[in-house]
Amino acid sequence: MAILPIVTFPDERLSSVCAPVGGVDDAVLHLAQDMLDTMYDAYGRGLAAPQVGVLQRVFVMDLSWKDGTRAPQVCIDPVISWWSDDVVPGPEGCLSIPGVTADVPRATAIHAVWTSPDGVRREHALTGFAAICVQHELDHLNGIVTFDRLSPAARQVVEASYTVRCAP
């Protein structure tokens, strides 16, 4: 078990497109366990590898642990194979942008495919918070943060609030 330091915006690793993992081995399983430990420690529900400085296409999430039941998921080489036309903005936080919530437009339903720790690739039909979380974490693997999903005017407002918060 290891708690890893979390990279914060505007670190350039958060703007990088991550490389495919390619397969399940001990290294990626070890990384995923450390990411889960780090996510729980930071009181988050999702964490992507670039947020701990590793530029690989893997993220972890646990949608239910704050309600009392741990259900850790490790998503390796994820892709979204279908998006609903329905797009709704909703408030999102990010462990790499502490203290800031942004209203990010997201598809309300998606199908996503990823490799699980057992090495099997499966498709998942997701709605609600699960759909939002996967879109958010997959954005990280493509070098996209919540700020990048906002209109220029909205981005200016939230980014200014973050800058003020982080000023020395």
Which residue ranges make up the site for Zn ion (CB under 5 A)? 94
CB of 132 to Zn ion, least distance (A): 11
Return the number of the residue (24 or 100) whose C-beta is nearest Zn ion.
100
Q: Which residue is nearest to Zn ion (CB)?
A: 94
Nearer to Zn ion, 123 or 148 (CB): 148
In sequence order, the 6+-apart residues with CB closer than 8 A to the CB of 26 are none
Whole-angstrom Cα distance, residue 42 to residue 60?
A: 13
Residue closer to Zn ion, measured from CB, 21 or 94: 94
Estimate to the nearest angstrom the gap between the alpha carbon of 11 and the chain centroid.
16
Q: In this structure, are strands 46-48 and 58-61 parallel, antiparallel, or unpaired?
A: antiparallel
Query: Strand, coil or helix: what is 47?
Result: strand
Q: How many CB atoms lie within 10 A of CB 116?
A: 14
Please state the closest distance from residue 39 (CB atom) to Zn ion, in A.
Answer: 11
Nearer to Zn ion, 24 or 96 (CB): 96
137 an active-site residue? yes
Grouping H, G, I as helix, E, B as strand and the rest as coil, residue 145 is coil
133: part of which helix (H) or strand (E)? Answer: helix 128-141
Q: Please, what is the minimum distance in Å from the beta carbon of residue 168 to Zn ion?
A: 24
For residue 96, the minimal CB distance to Zn ion (Å) is 5
Catalytic choice (12, 123, 137, 159): 137
Active site residues: 137
